[in-house]
Amino acid sequence: MYTASRADWGGHKDPVERLTKVLTHSMQAVPGLPQAFGRRLGRWAIILPPLLFLLVFFLIPFGFALKISFAEAVLRIPPFSDVWTVTPEHRLVFTPSLANFRYLLTDEVYAVSYLYSIKTAFVSTLGCLLIGYPMAYAMARASKSTQHLLVLMIVLPFWTSFLLRVYALEGIIRDTGLLNQWLLSVHLIEHPLKILRTSAAVYLGIIYSYLPFMILPLYATLEKMDLSLLEAAQDLGSRPWRAFWDVTLPLSMPGVIAGSMLVFIPAIGEYVIPALLGGPDNPMIGRILWDEFFENHDWPVAAAVSVAFLLLIAGPMAIHQYYRARDLVS
Protein backbone atom coordinates (compact mmCIF):
# COMPACT_ATOMS: atom_id res chain seq x y z
CA MET A 1 0.00 0.00 0.00
CA TYR A 2 1.21 3.44 -0.87
CA THR A 3 1.40 6.01 1.89
CA ALA A 4 2.21 9.65 1.40
CA SER A 5 5.48 10.56 3.00
CA ARG A 6 7.36 13.80 3.34
CA ALA A 7 9.57 12.73 0.51
CA ASP A 8 6.66 13.05 -1.92
CA TRP A 9 6.59 16.79 -1.26
CA GLY A 10 10.08 17.11 -2.60
CA GLY A 11 11.77 16.70 0.75
CA HIS A 12 10.44 20.01 2.03
CA LYS A 13 9.17 20.32 5.53
CA ASP A 14 5.73 21.60 4.70
CA PRO A 15 3.56 21.96 1.66
CA VAL A 16 3.43 25.77 1.79
CA GLU A 17 7.16 26.04 1.42
CA ARG A 18 7.16 23.78 -1.59
CA LEU A 19 4.23 25.61 -3.14
CA THR A 20 6.10 28.87 -2.69
CA LYS A 21 9.12 27.50 -4.47
CA VAL A 22 7.07 26.27 -7.40
CA LEU A 23 5.23 29.57 -7.66
CA THR A 24 8.36 31.70 -7.44
CA HIS A 25 9.87 29.69 -10.27
CA SER A 26 6.80 30.02 -12.42
CA MET A 27 6.65 33.78 -11.71
CA GLN A 28 10.24 34.16 -12.83
CA ALA A 29 9.41 32.35 -16.05
CA VAL A 30 6.90 35.07 -17.03
CA PRO A 31 8.56 37.68 -19.23
CA GLY A 32 9.04 41.05 -17.51
CA LEU A 33 7.12 43.25 -19.91
CA PRO A 34 3.55 41.96 -19.51
CA GLN A 35 4.00 41.87 -15.75
CA ALA A 36 5.03 45.53 -15.58
CA PHE A 37 2.21 46.36 -17.94
CA GLY A 38 -0.25 44.50 -15.72
CA ARG A 39 0.97 46.36 -12.67
CA ARG A 40 0.57 49.71 -14.38
CA LEU A 41 -2.90 48.75 -15.51
CA GLY A 42 -3.73 47.79 -11.92
CA ARG A 43 -2.44 51.11 -10.67
CA TRP A 44 -4.61 53.11 -13.01
CA ALA A 45 -7.62 50.95 -12.18
CA ILE A 46 -7.16 52.19 -8.61
CA ILE A 47 -6.35 55.81 -9.38
CA LEU A 48 -8.79 56.59 -12.17
CA PRO A 49 -12.24 55.93 -10.60
CA PRO A 50 -11.91 58.44 -7.74
CA LEU A 51 -9.89 60.85 -9.88
CA LEU A 52 -12.45 60.94 -12.69
CA PHE A 53 -15.45 61.07 -10.35
CA LEU A 54 -14.10 64.01 -8.35
CA LEU A 55 -12.91 65.74 -11.50
CA VAL A 56 -16.33 65.60 -13.15
CA PHE A 57 -18.54 66.11 -10.10
CA PHE A 58 -16.42 68.34 -7.88
CA LEU A 59 -13.84 70.33 -9.84
CA ILE A 60 -15.52 70.87 -13.21
CA PRO A 61 -18.66 72.33 -11.53
CA PHE A 62 -16.50 75.30 -10.50
CA GLY A 63 -15.78 75.87 -14.18
CA PHE A 64 -19.51 76.00 -14.86
CA ALA A 65 -20.01 78.42 -11.96
CA LEU A 66 -17.28 80.63 -13.38
CA LYS A 67 -18.89 80.55 -16.82
CA ILE A 68 -22.38 81.29 -15.54
CA SER A 69 -21.11 84.15 -13.38
CA PHE A 70 -20.52 85.94 -16.72
CA ALA A 71 -24.06 85.23 -17.92
CA GLU A 72 -27.19 87.28 -17.43
CA ALA A 73 -30.40 86.26 -15.74
CA VAL A 74 -33.18 85.55 -18.22
CA LEU A 75 -36.66 84.13 -17.84
CA ARG A 76 -36.34 80.59 -19.12
CA ILE A 77 -35.13 77.17 -17.97
CA PRO A 78 -32.28 77.20 -16.97
CA PRO A 79 -32.56 80.88 -16.04
CA PHE A 80 -29.38 82.32 -17.51
CA SER A 81 -28.18 83.52 -20.90
CA ASP A 82 -25.53 81.77 -22.99
CA VAL A 83 -22.00 82.99 -22.50
CA TRP A 84 -20.96 81.50 -25.81
CA THR A 85 -23.02 80.42 -28.79
CA VAL A 86 -22.23 78.70 -32.04
CA THR A 87 -23.61 80.59 -35.02
CA PRO A 88 -25.07 78.72 -38.00
CA GLU A 89 -21.76 79.42 -39.77
CA HIS A 90 -20.04 77.33 -37.05
CA ARG A 91 -18.43 80.31 -35.49
CA LEU A 92 -18.03 80.57 -31.72
CA VAL A 93 -19.34 83.86 -30.38
CA PHE A 94 -18.53 85.00 -26.83
CA THR A 95 -20.94 87.33 -25.09
CA PRO A 96 -19.64 87.58 -21.52
CA SER A 97 -21.20 90.13 -19.24
CA LEU A 98 -19.43 91.76 -16.32
CA ALA A 99 -22.73 93.10 -14.98
CA ASN A 100 -22.85 90.62 -12.07
CA PHE A 101 -19.43 91.53 -10.75
CA ARG A 102 -20.17 95.23 -11.21
CA TYR A 103 -23.36 94.65 -9.22
CA LEU A 104 -21.41 92.93 -6.41
CA LEU A 105 -19.14 95.96 -6.14
CA THR A 106 -21.89 98.59 -6.23
CA ASP A 107 -24.54 96.98 -4.01
CA GLU A 108 -23.13 97.30 -0.51
CA VAL A 109 -25.11 94.28 0.78
CA TYR A 110 -22.33 92.00 -0.45
CA ALA A 111 -19.42 93.87 1.13
CA VAL A 112 -21.36 94.20 4.40
CA SER A 113 -22.29 90.52 4.52
CA TYR A 114 -18.76 89.45 3.64
CA LEU A 115 -17.31 91.49 6.51
CA TYR A 116 -20.10 90.41 8.83
CA SER A 117 -19.39 86.73 8.04
CA ILE A 118 -15.71 87.16 8.87
CA LYS A 119 -16.55 88.99 12.09
CA THR A 120 -19.08 86.33 13.14
CA ALA A 121 -16.69 83.48 12.36
CA PHE A 122 -13.93 85.27 14.27
CA VAL A 123 -16.00 85.98 17.39
CA SER A 124 -17.39 82.42 17.43
CA THR A 125 -13.94 80.88 16.98
CA LEU A 126 -12.69 82.96 19.89
CA GLY A 127 -15.67 81.81 21.97
CA CYS A 128 -14.96 78.17 21.08
CA LEU A 129 -11.32 78.62 22.05
CA LEU A 130 -12.16 80.22 25.41
CA ILE A 131 -14.61 77.45 26.31
CA GLY A 132 -12.81 74.59 24.56
CA TYR A 133 -9.29 75.19 25.91
CA PRO A 134 -10.06 74.66 29.59
CA MET A 135 -12.25 71.70 28.68
CA ALA A 136 -9.48 70.08 26.61
CA TYR A 137 -6.96 70.85 29.37
CA ALA A 138 -9.13 69.19 32.00
CA MET A 139 -9.63 66.18 29.71
CA ALA A 140 -5.90 65.80 29.15
CA ARG A 141 -5.33 65.73 32.91
CA ALA A 142 -8.02 63.13 33.61
CA SER A 143 -7.16 59.45 34.16
CA LYS A 144 -6.74 57.29 31.04
CA SER A 145 -10.03 55.43 31.40
CA THR A 146 -11.95 58.65 32.01
CA GLN A 147 -10.28 60.18 28.94
CA HIS A 148 -11.84 57.56 26.64
CA LEU A 149 -15.26 58.26 28.06
CA LEU A 150 -14.82 62.03 27.80
CA VAL A 151 -13.66 61.86 24.16
CA LEU A 152 -16.71 59.74 23.37
CA MET A 153 -19.00 62.26 25.07
CA ILE A 154 -17.48 65.15 23.11
CA VAL A 155 -17.65 63.30 19.78
CA LEU A 156 -21.11 61.78 20.14
CA PRO A 157 -23.14 64.98 19.46
CA PHE A 158 -21.20 65.47 16.23
CA TRP A 159 -22.36 62.03 15.06
CA THR A 160 -26.05 62.64 15.65
CA SER A 161 -27.39 65.48 13.55
CA PHE A 162 -26.15 68.98 12.96
CA LEU A 163 -29.51 70.38 11.82
CA LEU A 164 -31.39 68.85 14.75
CA ARG A 165 -28.90 70.16 17.30
CA VAL A 166 -29.34 73.69 16.00
CA TYR A 167 -33.09 73.14 16.24
CA ALA A 168 -32.70 71.87 19.81
CA LEU A 169 -30.71 74.98 20.73
CA GLU A 170 -33.42 77.17 19.21
CA GLY A 171 -35.93 75.57 21.56
CA ILE A 172 -33.79 76.49 24.58
CA ILE A 173 -33.03 80.13 23.78
CA ARG A 174 -36.46 81.17 22.56
CA ASP A 175 -38.21 84.00 24.41
CA THR A 176 -40.45 81.39 26.06
CA GLY A 177 -37.72 78.73 26.09
CA LEU A 178 -36.32 76.88 29.05
CA LEU A 179 -33.40 79.27 29.57
CA ASN A 180 -35.70 82.28 29.99
CA GLN A 181 -38.19 80.28 32.08
CA TRP A 182 -35.40 79.31 34.45
CA LEU A 183 -33.85 82.79 34.63
CA LEU A 184 -37.29 84.30 35.34
CA SER A 185 -38.10 81.72 38.00
CA VAL A 186 -34.90 82.39 39.95
CA HIS A 187 -35.53 86.16 39.56
CA LEU A 188 -32.25 86.83 37.78
CA ILE A 189 -34.17 88.77 35.15
CA GLU A 190 -37.51 90.59 35.09
CA HIS A 191 -38.28 90.24 31.38
CA PRO A 192 -37.38 87.42 29.02
CA LEU A 193 -33.99 87.90 27.37
CA LYS A 194 -34.14 88.48 23.66
CA ILE A 195 -31.51 86.08 22.33
CA LEU A 196 -33.11 84.44 19.31
CA ARG A 197 -32.81 86.47 16.06
CA THR A 198 -29.75 88.37 17.35
CA SER A 199 -26.02 88.11 16.64
CA ALA A 200 -25.59 86.53 20.08
CA ALA A 201 -27.78 83.62 19.00
CA VAL A 202 -25.65 83.08 15.88
CA TYR A 203 -22.44 83.12 17.94
CA LEU A 204 -23.97 80.73 20.44
CA GLY A 205 -25.18 78.45 17.65
CA ILE A 206 -21.77 78.24 16.02
CA ILE A 207 -20.04 77.66 19.36
CA TYR A 208 -22.57 74.98 20.25
CA SER A 209 -22.24 73.18 16.90
CA TYR A 210 -18.49 73.42 16.40
CA LEU A 211 -17.17 73.07 19.97
CA PRO A 212 -16.13 69.40 19.41
CA PHE A 213 -13.97 70.48 16.45
CA MET A 214 -12.09 72.86 18.72
CA ILE A 215 -11.73 70.50 21.66
CA LEU A 216 -10.42 67.40 19.84
CA PRO A 217 -7.23 68.85 18.26
CA LEU A 218 -6.54 70.82 21.47
CA TYR A 219 -6.95 67.67 23.53
CA ALA A 220 -4.68 65.74 21.14
CA THR A 221 -1.79 68.19 21.59
CA LEU A 222 -2.31 68.76 25.32
CA GLU A 223 -2.52 65.03 26.01
CA LYS A 224 0.85 64.39 24.36
CA MET A 225 2.56 67.21 26.20
CA ASP A 226 5.59 66.48 28.32
CA LEU A 227 4.65 67.34 31.87
CA SER A 228 8.27 67.41 32.99
CA LEU A 229 8.60 70.77 31.23
CA LEU A 230 5.88 72.20 33.43
CA GLU A 231 7.50 70.66 36.46
CA ALA A 232 10.80 72.18 35.47
CA ALA A 233 9.18 75.60 35.14
CA GLN A 234 7.62 75.21 38.57
CA ASP A 235 10.84 73.93 40.08
CA LEU A 236 12.52 77.04 38.76
CA GLY A 237 10.00 79.06 40.71
CA SER A 238 7.31 79.77 38.14
CA ARG A 239 3.81 80.19 39.45
CA PRO A 240 1.30 77.75 37.91
CA TRP A 241 -0.36 80.50 35.86
CA ARG A 242 2.99 81.84 34.69
CA ALA A 243 4.15 78.30 33.79
CA PHE A 244 0.98 77.83 31.77
CA TRP A 245 1.52 81.10 29.92
CA ASP A 246 5.21 80.50 29.20
CA VAL A 247 5.28 76.75 28.63
CA THR A 248 1.90 75.07 28.07
CA LEU A 249 0.28 77.65 25.83
CA PRO A 250 3.17 78.02 23.35
CA LEU A 251 3.52 74.24 23.14
CA SER A 252 -0.19 73.80 22.47
CA MET A 253 -0.19 76.32 19.61
CA PRO A 254 -0.48 73.64 16.87
CA GLY A 255 -3.69 72.44 18.51
CA VAL A 256 -4.97 76.00 18.89
CA ILE A 257 -4.35 76.73 15.21
CA ALA A 258 -5.81 73.42 13.98
CA GLY A 259 -8.91 73.81 16.14
CA SER A 260 -9.41 77.44 15.14
CA MET A 261 -9.17 76.59 11.44
CA LEU A 262 -11.68 73.75 11.86
CA VAL A 263 -14.16 76.19 13.41
CA PHE A 264 -13.42 79.37 11.45
CA ILE A 265 -13.53 77.92 7.92
CA PRO A 266 -16.95 76.25 8.04
CA ALA A 267 -18.34 79.10 10.18
CA ILE A 268 -17.74 81.72 7.46
CA GLY A 269 -19.89 79.89 4.92
CA GLU A 270 -22.48 78.73 7.45
CA TYR A 271 -26.10 78.83 6.30
CA VAL A 272 -28.25 76.76 8.67
CA ILE A 273 -27.25 78.50 11.92
CA PRO A 274 -27.87 82.13 10.82
CA ALA A 275 -31.03 81.06 8.99
CA LEU A 276 -32.56 79.34 12.03
CA LEU A 277 -31.16 81.41 14.90
CA GLY A 278 -30.30 84.76 13.33
CA GLY A 279 -32.55 87.64 12.38
CA PRO A 280 -32.61 90.16 9.53
CA ASP A 281 -29.60 91.92 11.05
CA ASN A 282 -27.39 88.87 10.59
CA PRO A 283 -26.63 88.87 6.87
CA MET A 284 -24.12 86.05 6.64
CA ILE A 285 -22.86 85.42 3.14
CA GLY A 286 -24.40 81.93 3.09
CA ARG A 287 -27.85 83.41 3.62
CA ILE A 288 -27.32 86.06 0.94
CA LEU A 289 -26.32 83.33 -1.50
CA TRP A 290 -29.30 81.17 -0.57
CA ASP A 291 -31.78 84.06 -0.97
CA GLU A 292 -30.22 85.16 -4.24
CA PHE A 293 -30.77 81.65 -5.51
CA PHE A 294 -34.09 80.55 -4.05
CA GLU A 295 -35.90 83.88 -3.52
CA ASN A 296 -34.62 86.09 -6.36
CA HIS A 297 -33.92 83.18 -8.73
CA ASP A 298 -30.89 85.10 -9.95
CA TRP A 299 -28.55 82.22 -10.72
CA PRO A 300 -25.82 84.27 -12.44
CA VAL A 301 -25.51 86.65 -9.47
CA ALA A 302 -25.41 83.66 -7.11
CA ALA A 303 -22.66 82.14 -9.25
CA ALA A 304 -20.76 85.44 -9.21
CA VAL A 305 -21.08 85.67 -5.40
CA SER A 306 -19.72 82.11 -5.12
CA VAL A 307 -16.79 82.88 -7.38
CA ALA A 308 -15.96 86.11 -5.54
CA PHE A 309 -16.35 84.42 -2.16
CA LEU A 310 -14.06 81.59 -3.20
CA LEU A 311 -11.40 83.99 -4.45
CA LEU A 312 -11.62 86.06 -1.26
CA ILE A 313 -11.56 83.08 1.11
CA ALA A 314 -9.97 80.14 -0.65
CA GLY A 315 -7.34 82.17 -2.49
CA PRO A 316 -5.61 83.47 0.66
CA MET A 317 -6.01 80.09 2.34
CA ALA A 318 -4.45 78.20 -0.55
CA ILE A 319 -1.51 80.62 -0.56
CA HIS A 320 -1.18 80.20 3.20
CA GLN A 321 -1.20 76.41 2.83
CA TYR A 322 1.32 76.57 0.01
CA TYR A 323 3.80 78.60 2.05
CA ARG A 324 3.28 76.42 5.10
CA ALA A 325 3.94 73.29 3.03
CA ARG A 326 7.04 74.91 1.58
CA ASP A 327 8.28 75.86 5.05
CA LEU A 328 7.81 72.29 6.19
CA VAL A 329 9.78 70.94 3.24
CA SER A 330 12.72 73.30 3.60
Partner 1 sequence: MDRRAPLGLMTVLCLGIAFLYIPMLVLIGYSFNASSLVSVWGGFSLDWYVVLFHNRQILQAAWLSLKVAMIASSIALVLGTLAAVALVRFSNFRGRFLLVGMANAPLVMPEIITGITQLLLFVSMLKLFGWPGRGMTTIVISHVAFCCAYVTVTVQSRLASVDRDLEEAAMDLGATPFRAFVDTTLPIISPALVSSWLLSFTLSLDDLVISSFVSGPRSSTLPMVIYSKVKLGISPDVNALASLIICVMGFIVLVAGFLLHRAERRRERDIQLAARMG
Residues 260-319 that bind partner 1 (CB under 8 A): 265-266, 268-272, 275-276, 286, 289-290, 293-294, 299, 302-303, 306, 309-310, 313-314, 317
Least distance between partner 1 and beta carbon 1 (Å): 33
Least distance in Å: CB of 98 to partner 1?
Answer: 19
Pairing of strands 92-94, 84-86: antiparallel
In angstroms, give the least distance from the CB of 319 to partner 1.
14
By CB under 8 A, tell whether 51 contacts partner 1. Answer: yes
Choose the stretch contacting partner 1; rule: CB under 8 A; options: 99-107, 108-116, 134-142, 250-258: 134-142
| Smallest distance from partner 1 to CB 11, Å | 19
How many residues touch partner 1 under the rule CB under 8 A: the total is 90
Q: Which residues pair with 92 in a beta bridge?
A: 86
Task: Give CA separation, 300 vs 30, 68, 79, 83, 246, in Å.
Answer: 59, 6, 8, 11, 52
Q: How far is the CB of 54 from partner 1 (least distance, A)?
A: 4
In sequence order, what are the residues at sequence separation of 6 or more whose Cβ sits closer than 8 angstroms to the Cβ of residue 101?
69, 304, 308
Binding piece for partner 1, criterion CB under 8 A, among 1-9, 102-110, 159-167, 248-256: 159-167
Contacts of 310 (CB under 8 A, 6+ apart): 62
Nearer to partner 1, 2 or 82 (CB): 82
Q: Which is nearer to partner 1, 199 or 214 (CB)?
A: 214
Q: Look at residue 92 and give its three-state secondary structure.
A: strand
Candidate list 168, 257, 311, 319; residue touching partner 1; CB under 8 A: 168
**What sections of the chain are H helices per DSSP?**
15-29, 32-54, 60-68, 99-106, 108-140, 144-160, 162-173, 178-185, 199-224, 227-235, 240-243, 249-251, 253-268, 272-277, 285-294, 299-329
- By CB under 8 A, the residues from 195 to 214 that bind partner 1 are 208, 211-212
Based on the shown chain and the rule CB under 8 A, indicate whether residue 256 belongs to the binding site for partner 1.
no
For the CB of residue 259, give the shortest distance to partner 1 in the complex, in Å.
14
Site for partner 1 in 82-121 (CB under 8 A): none
Site string for partner 1, 17-36 (x = CB under 8 A): --xx--xx--x---------
AA letter at 269: G
| DSSP secondary structure, 200-250, as one string | HHHHHHHHHHHHHHHHHHHHHHHHH--HHHHHHHHHTT--HHHHIIIIIHH
What number of residues does the chain have? 330
Torsion over CA: 171, 175, 176, 179 (sign): positive
Nearer to partner 1, 169 or 206 (CB): 169
